[in-house]
Amino acid sequence: MPRPPDRPTDRTSTDRTRTDRPSEPGTPVHVDYRKWDGSPHWQSDGVVAGVDEHGVWVAVPAGTHFERPGAAFDINCDSISLFPDAGWTPAFNDQAEAQRIAVYVDITTTPTWSYDESGWRVTMIDLDLDVIQRVDGFTFVDDEDEFAEHRRQFGYPDDVVARAEQDTRQVFRAVRDRSGAFDGTGWDWLRRFQAGRTATG
């Protein structure tokens, strides 16, 4: 199967004066995860919390609706996601119970940004592998079996497989060791969003 396009063909920018990604806090963003064949995966909406050296931070308030073919839910906590110039997209979840998921990192293609009459959209292809850290600090890699299955089903190119596996190892170490964007920066952005919402609410 041929490699899918880097940028979705149905979402091209119609405003050439804009930057290549949003930066103004409060800007709405549609988050568009896809599978390798271009079919929709998880879809949701959020708002820009800010931008730093790691990328664009998008806040997702509790109650936000998530859906994909065959499944849907409303998130039960505040969360913030990072969309970097890299093949992984973490979410930091405001959870308290030890067994709940604090950090969930999807291994993906590099996120791409587009803008049209409906607003900003960030799109990436989900490559199955996930790095997960519970509130109690336990960190593990999930969905390796799904990655192997979809590698055969979709015919992931060898370079994509190698990059996804390398990114998984690097992200696992960063999450476990609390380095890079996982050094507390994600939580700082989440608290900043929550504080700003409280101040304006």
Within-domain flag for 23: no
Q: What is the CATH number of the domain that holds 186?
A: 2.40.380.10
d(CA 91, CA 100): 13
Residue 2's pLDDT band, with cuts at 50, 70 and 90, is very low
Q: What is the pLDDT of residues 174-191, one digit of tens each?
A: 999 999 999 999 999 999
pLDDT for position 197: 75
Is the pLDDT reported for residue 4 higher than 60? no
14 within domain boundaries: no
The count of structural domains within the chain is 1
Q: DSSP per residue over the chain, as a string?
A: -PPPPSS-TT---S-TTS-SS--STT-EEEEEEE-TTS-EEEEEEEEEEEEETTEEEEEE-TT-EEEETTEEEE-SS-EEEEE-SSSEEEEEE---STTSEEEEEEEESPPEEEEETTEEEEEEEEEEEEEEEETTS-EEEE-HHHHHHHHHHHT--HHHHHHHHHHHHHHHHHHHHT-GGGTTHHHHHHHHHHHHHHHH-
What is the value of pTM for the model shown?
0.89
* Statement: residue 172 has pLDDT above 90: yes
In a domain, 1, yes or no: no
Does 18 fall in a domain? no
Tell which residue, 113, 122, 150, has the closest CA to residue 42: 122
Residue 152 lies in a domain: yes
For residue 191, tell me if it sits in a domain.
Answer: yes
Read off the pLDDT of each residue in 61-72 and give the average, rounded to a whole number.
Answer: 97
Query: Is 13 inside a domain boundary?
Result: no
Whether 117 is in a domain gets the answer: yes
pLDDT above 70 as % of the chain: 89
Query: What number is the average pLDDT over the span 84-88?
Result: 97
pLDDT at residue 201, rounded to an integer: 56
Q: Give the domain range for residue 175.
A: 28-196
Q: In this predicted structure, which of 7-11, 86-90, 122-126, 165-169 has the lowest mean pLDDT?
A: 7-11
